[in-house]
Amino acid sequence: MTSVTDRLEALEASAARLATLTKTLTSEQLGSQSYPKKWSISDVLSHIGSGAIIMRRGIDAGVSGVPVEDGFNQSVWDEWNAKSAADRAIEVLVADRALLDRIAELTDDERTTSKFSLGPFQLDLTTFLGLRLNEHVLHTWDIDVALHPAATLPSDAVNEVIDNLAMISGWAGKTDGNERQIEITTGDPTRKFALKVGPERLSLEPAGEAVGTAVEMPSEAFIRLVYGRLDPDHTPAGVESPELDPLRKLFPGF
């Protein structure tokens, strides 16, 4: 079972990859388009950096019981929106480090008993960190693939994120109203999923061994599918199914 320590180690690794990418960026590259068409690489760094500050404040709130003050998130976004591209590239690494250090200093009791708010949800620390890990890994890829078109998600990150998709799929997925179940088997690591498409929403659940397979793909590709990042140009060779295009429409990205 995944632990806080596992999530923290995975976040550390993703932060190290982001730092390696960011430290080599030129001014021209910072202003160039990332994978999301509406965001430059600098915009992605701003999103990651502001998210680190907001999450750190959320951890403080979960531990202390004192809620985050109204308007805090917006104030952070406004501050990062006003930063220059060069400052974002420097300060995202500072914000990442401060968040990781805050997580690392939590006591065992704080790690196991504290609850952390995300909208209407109260999450344990492992789940809370899992959402940050997903975001960090995918947005780091958004930068990496803009610079290196053949980039894929790192295997160590895939091993963590593949089991952390259920909540995300509910937010990222958009039902087409055609009720059905799509059975998905992934490899490296091997997993079986049942994607249930309902009239108003969809859900993703682990599937038992007896479930037949409609779609097969690497776990790395399936993660990107759920996040709307498996367009034809970034789909591994050999991943073919009549369900692939409908799946892309169910997960348009966010």
Per residue in 185-238, pLDDT (tens digit) is 999 999 999 999 999 999 999 887 655 668 999 999 999 999 999 999 999 998
Decide: 34 and 43 in contact? Cβ < 8 Å. yes
**Position 100, amino acid:** L
**pLDDT tens digits, one per residue of 112-137:** 999 999 888 899 999 999 999 999 99
Give the predicted TM-score (pTM) of the model. Answer: 0.95
The chain-wide mean pLDDT, for the chain, equals 94
User: How high is the pLDDT of residue 241?
Assistant: 83
Phi-psi region of 36 (alpha: psi -120 to 50; beta: other; left: phi over 0): beta
DSSP state letters, 106-172:
--HHHHHH--EEETTEEE-HHHHHHHHHHHHHHHHHHHHHHHSTT----HHHHHHHTTS-HHHHHHH
**pLDDT tens digits, one per residue of 65-77:** 999 999 999 999 9
Count of residues for the chain? Answer: 254
User: How high is the pLDDT of residue 212?
Assistant: 60
User: How high is the pLDDT of residue 213?
Assistant: 63
- Phi then psi dihedrals of residue 182, to 5 deg: -110, 125
The pLDDT of residue 97 is above 80: yes
pLDDT band per the 50, 70, 90 thresholds, residue 242: confident
**pLDDT tens digits, one per residue of 25-41:** 999 999 999 999 999 99
Which domains are delineated in the chain?
Answer: 4-157 (1.20.120.450), 162-250 (3.30.1050.10)
33: which DSSP letter? B
Region 166-185: what's the mean pLDDT? 91
